[in-house]
Chains A and B, each alone.
Chain A
Amino acid sequence: MALGFEAHLGNTVITTKLDAIINWGRENSLWPFIFGTACCAIEFMSAAASQHDISRFGAEVVRFSPRQADLLLVCGTISYKQAPILKRIYEQMPLPKWVVAMGACASSGGMYDNYCTVQGIDTIIPVDVYISGCPPRPEAILDALMKIQKQIEGETILQDRHKDFKGILD
């Protein structure tokens, strides 16, 4: 279900223009929540530091509270022990929200094809953009950010995303 003001609009004519302006606002003020568990989190630190400077994308307000974030950046390996926590944090984030799986581990389990590592976070929560690399360079994070921005551009506030997602913990 759409939230707030747009929920009352229904399928009316005004929404395409409203989409444009709201999407423009959303894409240029992403507030990332860094779910940093491992090596990828160090590369995120680099992306936030002076040289790569993530604030150029309006995404420098790094929040560790799911209530204040709309972009979940999963930086690092997710183990089965960690999985319920990741899911809870995703659920606590308000709509609309986007997820980036950063690096080989978050995307697919990476080199850890074993008893403790979740083989990709898309078995737990829906993912919008995957970044390859182990770990990826900071530029790749910025690239993923631009991909999310591109994606937001084409979205509509009338439609909920990932309504029918079912993961292993559901």
Chain B
Amino acid sequence: MNTTALEKMKAAFPDATCSTVLDAVVVDVQATALESTLSRLKNDPSFNCGLLLDVTGIDYLEYPDPPKARFSVVYTLRNWQDNLLVQVRCAVADPQDGVTTASHLWGSANWGEREVYDQYGINFKGHPDLRRILNHWQFSGHPLRKDYPIDKGQICYETDSLEKEIKARLFENGIDESTMRDINTEIMFLNIGPSHPATHGAIRILTALDGETILANVNEIGYLHRGFEKTAESYTYNQVVPLTDRLNYCSSVINNIAYVKAVEAWLGVKITERAQFMRVVLTEFYRVLDHLVCIAANLVDMGGLTNYWYLFNEKEAAYDFISRLTGSRLTTSFTRIGGMYRDFYEGWEVDLKAQLLSIEKGIGDALKLVETNRIIHDRTQGVCILPAETALSYGFTGPNLRASGVPFDLRKDAPYYNYEAFDFEVPVGSTGDIYDRFMIRFAEMTQSIRIIRQAMQHIPEGPINVGDSQVCLPPKQQVYSKIEGLANHFKLIFEGVKAPRGEWYDSFEAANGELGFHFVSDGSGRPYKVKVRPPCFYVMGGFHKMVEGYMIADAVINLGCINIIGGELDR
């Protein structure tokens, strides 16, 4: 498929350099042509890249034989209908001068570019609101630049007021000075969070209210920014796995798998059949757990505490299975590049089967309370509607996008690990309201359980790690008795798995949507750069589009149903 896409790109952009890397077509353009290229990729029906997945910068300061320009920016786009992945890369001659913004083309560029500005100090001309997003406003310097020392913390003494931003948003929504002075619409500014039970973590919501109706909304994130990307640069590839656990701590194994899959894709390592099946079983199991927590917490927001016990107790019970398997409850670090940490234990099928049954019972019990519940219906149906185009523009993926009626799921559209062989459906919503986002998760859990049962039936015997000594640690017996084993072990531990020089992007259908990793490797055992494409970062970027015009109480349950996980949002 990609050879034809490459030909098409070459013909369409004769001035650019086009190449294919893994599944993506990479287009290198000049800064002057960046805006026109992006605009054509979006608007030309033969490319139709409706999803801007991610924007990131790269600092080549310490790269061996670096390119002429120190910085470059990369836009990752996707045409979801035809499974076409395009990366547009542009060298930035002068970060002060920067490049032209793409925020008028996709809503998701707004936050994506802000992050690049924050972390790399690259300017985006014409951006409506270019300010810091992950670091605090009193921060100076740009932490992901290679010359920024990793441990140089900067104390924040006061939080940002956001006054200018909310006023700008009011203005954009057509609320002028005279309305603001009118006695009947006396605007009240209400701040929720970052420490509030309704925010499900550290997120700040600032709203301008007329009565209880939200006229304008701005959000501030970054309260849980833990420097994942900078820290990962000083670790070996395998050492990054524990960091990925803490991205989305409700579904840590999915993050582990997505990460190692991205590294393996570049190394060209094909993991064993058994490991593939293990990963499918665990991914789907964690998808269920992730949705369980999301729905349980969301129902608490609506006042349904009983449901919380029905759903959360099943998650709690699942920890027994997980601890038996991985040794820990939440942060599992269960994968390794080239396979898994260890095989399933004896009798896991029995445990898992029982687990699935009780989860199904929990779901059934909760559904009985929810399905025909008038309160739930009134509070969720037709509330916080998000049309498909807006969802796509803001880079939504996963259940939130499917709720708006876009049937995009990487497991179906770009299958990996034999997903094409499993019999399952992708639930799709019709109106894109809270109810859809909510019920889709119920439906997805049922589908995931279906996949697990099929995978359990067909899981083959065999090794779980590849035999390549450059990728996987040798068995302990060889380490203790043979010099080659010992040397391989030491080399892999000290230097890490060596990835060939280059840049690549690989993605995975996580519980929240497309979880992508953009890597830059300098040929050593440590990533030169890792950029995570977190699904909920972009969902949060479109939050105001969902809640403006609705009530403040709707915003609270809407935040619950889009399943924002702080670790993934802020990294």
Q: Nearest residue in B to A113 (C-beta to C-beta)?
A: B151
> Which residues of chain A come closer than 8 Å to B242, judged between CB atoms?
111
A2 on interface, CB distance cutoff 8 Å: no
For residue B481, give the distance in angstroms from its CB to the closest CB of chain A.
Answer: 33
B202 on interface, CB distance cutoff 8 Å: yes
> Which residues of chain A come closer than 8 Å to B149, judged between CB atoms?
115
B195 and A114 contacting across the interface, CB-CB below 8 Å: no
A169 and B155 contacting across the interface, CB-CB below 8 Å: yes
Contact with A along B127-141 (1 / 0, CB 8 A): 000000011100100
Contact with B along A19-46 (1 / 0, CB 8 A): 0000000000000000111110111011
B197 and A115 contacting across the interface, CB-CB below 8 Å: no
Question: Which of B196, B201, B202, B226 sits near A116, CB closer than 8 Å?
Answer: B226
CB-CB under 8 A for A135 and B195, given A39-B249, A117-B227: no
Q: Most chain-A CB neighbours within 10 Å: which of B195, B231, B249, B309?
A: B195
B225 on interface, CB distance cutoff 8 Å: yes
For residue B139, give the distance in angstroms from its CB to the closest CB of chain A.
Answer: 8
B316 on interface, CB distance cutoff 8 Å: yes
For residue A33, give the distance in angstroms from its CB to the closest CB of chain B.
Answer: 9
For residue A97, give the distance in angstroms from its CB to the closest CB of chain B.
Answer: 16
For residue A81, give the distance in angstroms from its CB to the closest CB of chain B.
Answer: 4
A111 and B243 contacting across the interface, CB-CB below 8 Å: yes
Q: Most chain-B CB neighbours within 10 Å: which of A36, A76, A119, A135?
A: A76
A83 on interface, CB distance cutoff 8 Å: yes
A77 on interface, CB distance cutoff 8 Å: yes
B222 on interface, CB distance cutoff 8 Å: yes
B190 on interface, CB distance cutoff 8 Å: no
A49 and B309 contacting across the interface, CB-CB below 8 Å: yes
User: Which positions 144-190 of chain B face chain A at CB distance < 8 Å?
Assistant: 148-159
A159 on interface, CB distance cutoff 8 Å: no
A58 on interface, CB distance cutoff 8 Å: no
A165 on interface, CB distance cutoff 8 Å: no
> Which residues of chain B come closer than 8 Å to A57, judged between CB atoms?
none
For residue B326, give the distance in angstroms from its CB to the closest CB of chain A.
Answer: 14
A64 and B195 contacting across the interface, CB-CB below 8 Å: yes
Q: Nearest residue in A to B223 (C-beta to C-beta)?
A: A82
> Which residues of chain A come closer than 8 Å to B309, judged between CB atoms?
49-50
Q: Bound state CA distance, A42 and B319, in angstroms? A: 12
Q: Bound state CA distance, A112 and B157, in angstroms? A: 21
Q: Bound state CA distance, A118 and B135, in angstroms? A: 13
Instruction: Please classify the interface of chain B as helix (H, G, I), strand (E, B), loop, or mixed, using the class held by over half of its residues.
Output: loop
User: Which positions 93-152 of chain A face chain B at CB distance < 8 Å?
Assistant: 105, 111-119, 134-135, 137
A80 and B153 contacting across the interface, CB-CB below 8 Å: yes
Size category of the binding interface on chain B: 35 or more
> Which residues of chain B come closer than 8 Å to A89, judged between CB atoms?
195
Q: Bound state CA distance, A41 and B293, in angstroms? A: 12
Q: Nearest residue in A to B156 (C-beta to C-beta)?
A: A80
Contact with A along B368-409 (1 / 0, CB 8 A): 000000000000000000000000000000000000000000
User: Which positions 213-247 of chain B face chain A at CB distance < 8 Å?
Assistant: 222-227, 230-231, 242-243, 246
A12 on interface, CB distance cutoff 8 Å: no
Contact with B along A38-69 (1 / 0, CB 8 A): 11011101100111000000000000100000
Q: Most chain-B CB neighbours within 10 Å: which of A64, A79, A86, A115?
A: A115
For residue B145, give the distance in angstroms from its CB to the closest CB of chain A.
Answer: 11
B156 and A84 contacting across the interface, CB-CB below 8 Å: yes
A168 on interface, CB distance cutoff 8 Å: yes
Q: Bound state CA distance, A123 and B330, in angstroms? A: 27
Q: Bound state CA distance, A113 and B249, in angstroms? A: 19
> Which residues of chain A come closer than 8 Å to B154, judged between CB atoms?
80, 115
B313 and A49 contacting across the interface, CB-CB below 8 Å: yes
B226 and A80 contacting across the interface, CB-CB below 8 Å: no
Contact with A along B517-559 (1 / 0, CB 8 A): 0000000000000000000000000000000000000000000
For residue A41, give the distance in angstroms from its CB to the closest CB of chain B.
Answer: 7
For residue B48, give the distance in angstroms from its CB to the closest CB of chain A.
Answer: 38
A85 on interface, CB distance cutoff 8 Å: yes
CB-CB under 8 A for A82 and B293, given A114-B226, A116-B225: no
Q: Bound state CA distance, A146 and B197, in angstroms? A: 25
Contact with A along B556-570 (1 / 0, CB 8 A): 000000000011000
Contact with A along B302-331 (1 / 0, CB 8 A): 000000010011001101000000000111
For residue B530, give the distance in angstroms from its CB to the closest CB of chain A.
Answer: 14
For residue B245, give the distance in angstroms from its CB to the closest CB of chain A.
Answer: 8
CB-CB under 8 A for A111 and B223, given A42-B249, A84-B159: no
> Which residues of chain B come closer than 8 Å to A111, judged between CB atoms?
231, 242-243
> Which residues of chain A come closer than 8 Å to B329, judged between CB atoms?
43, 46, 135, 137
Residues of chain B having any CB pair with chain A under 8 Å? 134-136, 139, 143, 148-159, 194-197, 201-202, 222-227, 230-231, 242-243, 246, 249-250, 293, 309, 312-313, 316-317, 319, 329-331, 566-567
Residues of chain A having any CB pair with chain B under 8 Å? 35-39, 41-43, 45-46, 49-51, 64, 76-77, 79-86, 89, 105, 111-119, 134-135, 137, 168-169
Give 20 A-B contacts (CB < 8 Å), ordered by A residue: A37-B566, A39-B567, A46-B316, A49-B313, A49-B316, A76-B566, A79-B223, A83-B155, A84-B156, A85-B223, A105-B226, A111-B231, A114-B151, A114-B227, A114-B230, A115-B143, A119-B153, A135-B330, A169-B155, A169-B157
Q: In the complex, given contacts A49-B316, A113-B151, A116-B225, what are 14 additional A-B residue pairs having Cβ atoms less than 8 angstroms apart? A: A37-B202, A39-B249, A39-B330, A42-B249, A50-B309, A50-B313, A76-B224, A79-B226, A81-B225, A82-B194, A82-B224, A111-B243, A112-B231, A115-B154
